[in-house]
């Protein structure tokens, strides 16, 4: 009946996937993506995937690492996720303590963690010295039954619709668009988004990223807006990022990209669409509400100073 915490092993991939789907159903996970996260982690991340095990069963996980691409040194992250049937058995505290010890040894000065906005979870974080910083809302859309908007019969002059698959030979325009859009996203941890090779390895080549469902809006042939689609290959579709470049905002291009992607996803057989937004990102929250998304969970970002 003792709970232990240990490092992930390749044979855990199926069990970790089941655990992740049970604890964070609004995020996509597959055995292949779990292995990818571990096998391709940048060495500077000092990454560990911790698993909590009880009687041979994996009941929780924690993705742990240094924010190596942050503009501020010493920033780190660790978010324990424990199956609801096993809360209160000590797994969450053991996962977090193990994560903090590892990060402190690697020079971390601040640890950020996401906490579901529920009294029990918030109390857990507060007792361990974490303070809240911001909220994020997860939203769900019944993709199978949603009344999705139609695509315009004629696009405005100079505007085109493509997919990320059209950039397989040269993804750099997608990298540049992602870098600009991400730099404007609300965040506690600033990011130096300038490493193309790292982006290729961990974003573009992510097995969850469906290039054919990731829609791109161009203006005069250049990327102007996009939405990145992550899927589990079964029923779940997740909007990983939707962005519009600064010179093209206010023209409805994000809605156009999301409309195209959602319609493609439904045609491909996906039935549940999820997305998430920072609580202060009113423009994207409004767009998702317009599509019919409803908030299904809220997380509160917390931070604790180490040392």
Domain boundaries, the chain: 3-108, 141-299
Give the pLDDT confidence score for residue 207 in this predicted structure. Answer: 97
Give the per-residue pLDDT at 178.
95
Whether pTM exceeds 0.95 = no
According to the model, what pLDDT value does residue 265 have? 98
Intrachain domains 3-108 and 141-299 with the same fold: yes
pLDDT tens, residue order, the chain (307 aa): 699 999 999 999 999 999 999 999 999 999 999 999 999 999 999 999 999 999 999 999 999 999 998 888 999 999 999 999 999 999 999 999 999 999 999 999 999 999 999 999 999 999 999 999 999 999 999 999 999 999 999 999 999 999 999 999 999 999 999 999 988 766 666 566 789 999 999 999 999 999 999 999 999 999 999 999 999 999 999 998 899 999 999 999 999 999 999 999 999 999 999 999 998 888 889 989 999 999 999 999 999 999 7
Question: Under CATH, which number does the domain 3-108 receive?
Answer: 3.40.630.30
Residue 194: per-residue pLDDT = 80
Q: What does the pLDDT read at residue 192?
A: 63
> Fold for domain 141-299?
Aminopeptidase (3.40.630)
Q: Is 302:131 a contact under the CB 8 Å cutoff?
A: yes
The confidence score (pLDDT) of residue 281 equals: 85
């Amino acid at each position: 009946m003792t709970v232990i915490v240990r490092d992930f092993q390749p044979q855990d991939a199926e069990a970790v996937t089941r655990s992740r789907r049970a604890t964070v159903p609004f995020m996509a996970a597959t055995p292949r993506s779990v292995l990818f996260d571990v096998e391709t982690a940048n060495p500077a991340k000092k990454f560990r995937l911790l698993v909590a095990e009880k009687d041979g069963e994996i009941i929780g996980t924690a993705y742990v690492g240094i924010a190596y691409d942050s503009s501020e040194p010493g920033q780190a992250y660790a978010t324990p996720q424990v199956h609801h049937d096993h809360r209160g058995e000590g797994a969450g505290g053991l996962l977090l303590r193990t994560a903090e010890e590892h990060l402190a040894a690697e020079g971390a000065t601040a640890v950020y963690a996401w906490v579901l906005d529920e009294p029990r979870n918030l109390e857990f974080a507060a007792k361990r010295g974490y303070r809240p910083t911001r909220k994020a809302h997860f939203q769900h859309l019944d993709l199978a039954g949603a009344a999705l908007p139609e695509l315009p019969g004629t696009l405005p002059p100079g505007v085109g619709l493509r997919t990320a698959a059209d950039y397989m030979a040269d993804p750099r325009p997608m990298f540049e668009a992602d870098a600009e859009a991400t730099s404007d996203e609300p965040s506690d941890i600033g990011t130096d988004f300038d490493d193309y090779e790292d982006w290729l390895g961990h974003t573009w080549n992510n097995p969850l990223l469906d290039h054919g469902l990731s829609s791109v809006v161009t203006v005069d042939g250049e990327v102007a807006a996009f939405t990145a689609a992550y899927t589990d290959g079964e029923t779940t579709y997740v909007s990983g990022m939707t962005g519009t470049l600064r010179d093209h905002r206010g023209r409805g291009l994000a809605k156009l990209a999301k409309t195209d992607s959602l319609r493609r996803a439904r045609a491909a057989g996906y039935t549940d669409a999820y997305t998430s937004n920072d609580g202060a990102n009113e423009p994207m929250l409004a767009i998702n509400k317009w599509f019919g998304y409803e908030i299904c969970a809220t997380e509160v970002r917390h931070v604790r100073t180490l040392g």
